Structure 1
């Protein structure tokens, strides 16, 4: 039991000790602040010379209406004789964006939408040197393009493109680009989210979200970590008026590196073929399967002679992981598989029954089997005249970014043709004509070569069967 003397002694000890404790910790905290460098200048100096401005131009031809369609002859033939005759008028359309030098020899990666349709491309370095550039290859499905600087200088810096460069939510990042054409600009922020899939600017939806200011003109620029590592290519913003609202998106380098490597090797992006159809596990499916939470995908179909078939994946399997990555949904699985190089062995974490197993798969180039046999049917031949058709195969499925089907698909429809008049559009799958199944292009050509006064045909659109009939 403490006496009054002991209580007074303890009080005095605490009274005189607390100021010393506070002072010592204040000194330590201040020393930490002095050692902490509140500037990004070092990483900017390290990375910004590898980020370039891209200027493009393309020739636009516009046909002017003839004089009879112009209000009051364009106020007494205003606009010149070319306008009166309805002759084409040409104009130059200019656009701008950003890019990143990623390899020696002047290899630049940017967004496909920055250079799409360009007749001339100019690359401007951070030190204002200007060079013409050519397109090595593009990939619309990921919105990426690879350029090569023509006659590049030997002193070009570059940022290493590594598929294993990763960031976490909360990491500081810098966005470097050419917003609004004002010149190279650096903005800072954090990684707000990963694997964003509802952006809609590419087929492979797994973006880095950041609040670093990204504005028009930043497209194709670099998103770098504070270690000076390239972690993404800036590609889009979420905005109602075109300005920055703190929601920007970048393509992760795990995707960029694979696409660039494929384009440099093949002149185009060639992705590995998986060969199975999957469905996202929703809360309802998870409950029906007795799962604790809705994560992963369920395999609905496995195609013969596909990599998935060779890896012993079965219908009903639950795929919950690819290597060390968890599979969130079908879009996420699609993205993760697209970041794997052809020929690279990959581990899939699969739940079969109540047991989790590891299966190993090696993705292969999508085969051209059966051959496409692409044909354009003459516009005057009913009922598919003016349609370009082809046999569906894995290579075409990958090229178009569609689900795998077997049969004949419409690739294009000409104006003022039978096919257009009966309402056919690209992407329709021809299933049956006059009671006969259509399994390949030759089946369709044989049927329409036989004269008929009535045509009844069935096609599939967005998973739904539609039947049409016409009488001649």
Structure 2
């Protein structure tokens, strides 16, 4: 009986043992690491020499150094001794030259990217701003003069044309909308003027909008080191295509802290296309204003989270009005691309081409609707009648224009279509000393509404004893009182 019992126990043990072996085999199979988790030893020389060098060799010849220079006139301080004939005997008549204006040359250094075989270069506006002469140096050390074809301060982009025989090595645009956080990118440029340099990193964010560098704030953020001199250089992906134009760093020291920003290739391509089509950036006009949707507004609209932009104003006769867009509509996407705030909406809309149509996905009364908007330029409803004021007055040195939707769009003045606007202020002029800035609206002088540039110029020719100026800036009207 014990033997039988022993025999039965032995058989049971055998079954259990077999089961355990089977389970352990299954567990061993399931516990095998996935291919993504494996740490593999390189098996051949090619794997050991894995490198970004092939990409750099392809792209580097298309990245150039940009040298911009401008002549600045300076007036030297005059010593009263040089007005005395006695001292002039020692220094000669050239002593009077001390009160003559002297010229000096200011220069800036940046980078650029050749985007076509004919030598078209795209760079940052701030690299060549106010430049009298521009030269570019290629990777092979050849240097050429370059012409400025287009400058667009609002996007901080500029287009140059190399004066030289092509074809030139160039880089193709990538679709920056396909870029994802975590993608590897290379930044190529000329930091600190030391020569062409390559840094590597990943995409940290694809839609940074609170950078404050351009009017159309929609940046690629990367941790690839970007330093002074990299501005205008190339940010490329692993196929060697251009995904962005390096433009700024976030740093208190002036050096790279792993937070760099690049203008998306989509925007750069838009500006380059404008250069091909006449050398002027012409953006579509919506004729509506929008605002950020915060948590409170989202709750009021019964949204589960803040999203899109809320339409606050629609101007009569504008493309927005003609399309049927309405106040309180919530725009959540432009041509299928999500918008999260006014900056991302502005970027999506402003990079559309005139003459085409675009579709807004709108939430209206809790239901989705598609609104088709025609892409038209802003109209010049009144002649701009640009005038530089030269008479002695607080406006001496200011260039002014009559406001219209076209002028408002060019200067980035949302929703301001009437009055006189300051377009430019000459440095050191009376207008500069008073504190006038481009974009200021001259609403009134001595309680008279200023309706046109001709009216303003007439007033400056007969200056009053006291100037009472009503100036609008950023939506607020301030009063300035000055002696005549």
Please give the TM-score of this superposition, normalised by the length of structure 2.
Answer: 0.84
Q: Secondary structure at the match of 1:395?
A: helix
Structure 1 residue 67 corresponds to structure 2 residue 76: no
Q: Secondary structure at the match of 2:164?
A: coil
Aligned-pair CA distance for 1:153: 2.8
Partner of 1:123: 136
Q: 2:122 pairs with 93, 109, 133, which one?
A: 109
Partner of 1:9: 18
**CA offsets per residue over residues 263-302 of structure 1, 9 Å max, x none?**
2212122211111111111222222333222222221222
CA root-mean-square deviation: 3.5
Structure-2 change in CA distance of 1:120 and 1:27 (3 Å) = closer
Partner of 2:68: 56
* 1: CA distance, partners of 2:106 / 2:460: 44
Structure 1 residue 395 corresponds to structure 2 residue 435: no
Q: Which stretches in structure 2 are left out of the alignment for 5+ residues?
A: 1-8, 83-89
Aligned-pair CA distance for 1:149: 0.8
Between Structure 1 and Structure 2, whose CA radius of gyration is higher?
A: 2
Residue correspondence of structure 1 range 173-322 to structure 2 within 5 A: 173-322=185-334
Partner of 1:73: none
Q: Which moved more, 1:167-176 or 1:44-53?
A: 44-53
Structure-2 change in CA distance of 1:107 and 1:471 (3 Å) = closer
Structure 1 residue 353 corresponds to structure 2 residue 365: yes
Structure-2 change in CA distance of 1:342 and 1:82 (3 Å) = farther
Q: Is the 8 A contact 1:165 1:230 kept in 2?
A: no
Please give the TM-score of this superposition, normalised by the length of structure 1.
Answer: 0.86
Partner of 2:98: 85
Structure-2 change in CA distance of 1:300 and 1:151 (3 Å) = same
**CA offsets per residue over residues 413-432 of structure 1, 9 Å max, x none?**
67775x78987654333445
Q: Secondary structure at the match of 2:284?
A: coil
Equivalent residue pairs, number: 462
* 2: CA distance, partners of 1:65 / 1:255: 46
Partner of 1:40: 52
Q: Secondary structure at the match of 1:3?
A: helix
* 2: CA distance, partners of 1:27 / 1:463: 56
Partner of 1:465: 477
**CA offsets per residue over residues 170-214 of structure 1, 9 Å max, x none?**
111111111122222111110001211122221110000000111
* 1: CA distance, partners of 2:323 / 2:355: 13
Aligned-pair CA distance for 1:141: 0.9
Q: 2:110 pairs with 97, 106, 116, which one?
A: 97
Q: Which moved more, 1:4-13 or 1:58-67?
A: 4-13
Q: Which stretches in structure 1 are left out of the alignment for 5+ residues?
A: 71-76
Q: Which moved more, 1:299-308 or 1:210-219?
A: 299-308
* 1: CA distance, partners of 2:228 / 2:463: 56
Aligned-pair CA distance for 1:231: 0.5
